[in-house]
Amino acid sequence: MVAVTTTDPREAEVLRLLDRYLVEVVEAYALCPWARAARLNGELAVGVLWGEPALDDWIAAAERLLARRNVLVAMIVAPEFTGGPGALRETRDRVAAAIATAGVADFHPDAALDLASPARLVPYLRRSPDPLLQLVPLALLDAVRAAPTAADRAHQAQILVGRAEPPRGDVADRIAVENHTRVAADPGALATRLAELAADRERSYARAGIGVSAFRPRR
């Protein structure tokens, strides 16, 4: 489970769904080389922002999570964020500009399957139950992507957010190709899993009383 303790039943539902996504999608499809270890070792920090967060809310949450000891991955979840993927990407860019020590990636539940290339499949694989931003210290990216052809730190950040192609042989490039091959062989399996997560979200958020303005994931 995500190593976060909360007495708020609404937050508990958000974290439960995030945990399902991490285990059943991110780890099952090996989307992130450090995801499982970070989750099991308590090195994943998660924050939840309610309503429509202002930019300062995103930045403050990111700085707070990254400041924790031994944090390798930070995730900021916004269950009631009503903007589409473009709005979240804009927020991602502004958060990345404010926090130069981490790569920032956006995950949004409204993404269509596109198997045209490994890079174009990434948004679909990042179809988390709720809109969220993931932050990974650039020092970790340096270590994971170390190779004779590794990109410099600035380029690595661009790769992480989907604005540049990984260099040939880069670990992220290899993972993307492997994910594309796996999903393309049976796209229905992942589609079913994502639909189950979306249905779970709809039911559990209704029970927990999470605002009706919450984004409804693509089914």
Q: 196 lies in a domain? A: yes
Average pLDDT over residues 197-203: 94
Residue 213 in domain = no
Would residue 217 count as lying in a domain?
no
59-83 pLDDT, tens digit each? 999 999 999 988 889 999 999 999 9
Res. 45: pLDDT tops 90: yes
Q: Where are the alpha helices (DSSP H) in 22-117?
A: 35-40, 55-66, 85-98
73-77 β-sheet, strand order:
44-48, 73-77, 132-137, 102-107
Any domain includes 216: no
How many structural domains comprise the chain? 1
Q: Could you tell me the residue range of the domain that residue 30 belongs to?
A: 9-208
* 186 found inside a domain: yes
| Residue 209 or residue 127, greater confidence | 127
pLDDT of amino acid 152: 52
pTM of structure:
0.82
On whether residue 187 sits in a domain, the answer given is yes
Residue 86 phi/psi, 5-degree rounding, is: -65, -40
Q: Is residue 40 in some structural domain?
A: yes
4 falls within a domain? no
CB 122 within 8 A of CB 162: yes
Reply yes or no on whether the pLDDT at 214 is more than 70: no
The CB density around residue 141, as the number of other CB atoms within 10 Å, is 22
